[in-house]
Structures are given as structure tokens and as C-alpha cells.
Amino acid sequence: MALSLRWHLSQIGEPSPNATFHLRGFHVLPPSGRLRDIMKAMLSPQPAQWTKPNEGQFFNYDWTEECQGVTHDGSHWYLSSNHDGKQRVYRFSLSNDVVSHVKLAGNGSNHLGDIEYHNGRIYCAMEGPVKIVVIDTPPFTGWWSAALVGENGGAPPQSDCPWCAVNPWNGLLYSSNFGNDGEDTLRAYQFDPPNARFVHAPSADIVLQEQVRDIQGAVFSKNGHVLLASNYSDDIRCYSVLNGRYLGRAAIEKDGSWDVAEEIEGITIWEEISYEGVATHVHVILLDNDWPDDDDVYFKHYRVPLSEHL
């Protein structure tokens, strides 16, 4: 086991030179506390090997206009639209038909970003000002708002909020700045029920090995990885939540035509959902900012060959 642990640690650059290693030095640990589970976060799911066996293409619907985020509840897809005057979260069947939607009118923020489903709630990243809008499911009929605040209740440590995601290892909500000039910190927030707000928990922040630009979406895996969707490097970037170590990238193909302006948006993990008999695992929204037509959406579904490491 000692040799195996040493090898696993080497995959995330640990221990660093001249440093004393201790598991308590990691950003986040699994709730089980088991070494076997910790070691899973040291293995890369090899994003360079991912393939895209399926891509859904959707043109000129209300929901495709400024489509920003994607998540699921195990039975339905949910997609967010920042359509001017029509901020909404849509529920879809697996055949990609709209089942229902929730209007976010009057929430007080001018931008709806990526979304996350966790334990019966959909968390919506909002900007201008930053906060989280929460939709309870059931009944998926209304919403309520929760502020992002600093550790002591003051201003939050981020001015942007393009995405939010729950880390299943600690149950905390994470978000970050967009990263126009680069961002390396994924900030953790603990929900404060009496005050309906998310309070920064800096001890659980995840500091990445590198600066990432134009972060449009993020999602955590069950094995201690976080995937970031970057519209700057046009890829899905994978990191260990233990120490923020970079574990590889999956390139996202864009249409480079002069009249097409594709933008990478939200990302989610839904394992073993099949298209034409092929299991897929990671799912990304691309927005085609059409002009003068309405926007289009390309819904890309990726297969992860080493899904046991995801």
C-alpha cells in the first residue's frame, strides 16, 4: 500500500519538494475519510481520450436564446436561458422536449449563468449583482434568492458568478470569477438557512495549479475531480480537488466559420446515459450567437473510456 500511495501521490505532484506531506494539507477530503477514496482523486480520467459520439443541434427556440447552463436530476435535463426579459430554467424530457419551465422574472440580477441540481434543488448562478437563485423540485414552480456573502457577512470575495456547483465530498456550493485575466480559486460557500444566504468558507477553497480564463461552467465528480469549461482555451479542464492539480484536457471542437460565433457554456456529468446505444458521461452546451437569427444550441455528449476514474 505504501508503494501504491507513493505512486498515486506522484500523479498530483505530491509531496512537493522540501515539503512535509500530510493528508490534512489537502483542500477537501471525502466524507468516508478512507484512503482508497482519497486515492481516486489522484487518478486522471484521461480527458484527452474522451470522444464525442453524439451532438444534439437545436435552432431558434425560445430556450436556445442565450442558453447558458445545463444540469439534470437523473430523470430530466434542465437548461437555463438568459433570454432578455425571459430568464428561465427549462425542464426537458430525455427526448429533448420541453416539459415545463420556471420564470425567474423579478430576481434582481441581469445575468443567469450555469446551473446545478443537488438534493432536490436547482442552484442558478446570477450576476449583476452576484447571488444564487434556488428552485425547489418538486414543485418546480417558483424560486427564491440567496445572497453570496463573505466569511464575516460582508461583500463576497468574487465580483462575477458565471457558474455554481455543489461538491459532493463536502456538500458546499462552489463558484468563481469568470477570469477575464485568469482565475485560480474556486470559492466554497456554506448555506446559512436562518438568513437564506451562502457564506464564504475559505478553508474549503480549492486553489488550482494554474490560472484559467473565461470559465463558463463547472461540475464536480463523485471521485474528487472538478471539470471546468473554458471558452478561452476551448476545452474541458480537469483538476483534483485535493490540491488543484491539473489532470488534463478534452478539446471542444468549434465551428470556425466567419459567420458563426460559438461560445462554450455550461457543463454537467450524467454517467451512462446512452445515445444510439453508446454510453456518454460528460455533457456541454455550446451557444451559437446567431445574427440576425435567434441563437442556436449544440448539446455535446462525451464518452469517458475510463469512466471509473471520472
Characterize 203-230 residue by residue with b for buried, 16 or more Cβ atoms within 10 angstroms of its Cβ, and e for exposed. Answer: ebbbebeeebebbbbbbbbebbbbbbbb
Query: In degrees rounded to 5, what are phi and psi of residue 49?
Result: -90, -5
Contact (Cβ atoms closer than 8 angstroms) between residue 50 and residue 282: yes
pLDDT average, residue stretch 189-200: 98
Q: Which residues contact 84 (CB under 8 A, 6 or more apart)?
A: 65, 66
Contact (Cβ atoms closer than 8 angstroms) between residue 70 and residue 91: no
pLDDT digits (tens, 9 = 90+) for 24-41: 678 899 999 999 999 999
Band (pLDDT 50/70/90 cuts) for residue 21 is low
What domains are defined for the chain? 2-15+27-309 (2.120.10)
Q: What is the largest CA-CA distance in the chain?
A: 62
Minimal CA–CA distance to 282: which of 260, 259, 258, 306? 306
In the prediction, which pLDDT does 217 show? 98
Query: In degrees rounded to 5, what are phi and psi of residue 40?
Result: -60, -35
Contact (Cβ atoms closer than 8 angstroms) between residue 49 and residue 305: yes
pLDDT digits (tens, 9 = 90+) for 104-151: 999 999 999 999 999 999 999 999 999 999 999 999 999 999 999 999
Cα 82 to the chain's mean position, in Å?
A: 17
pLDDT digits (tens, 9 = 90+) for 228-272: 999 999 999 999 999 999 999 999 998 877 667 789 999 999 998
Map grid coordinates 480559486 to a residue. Answer: 185
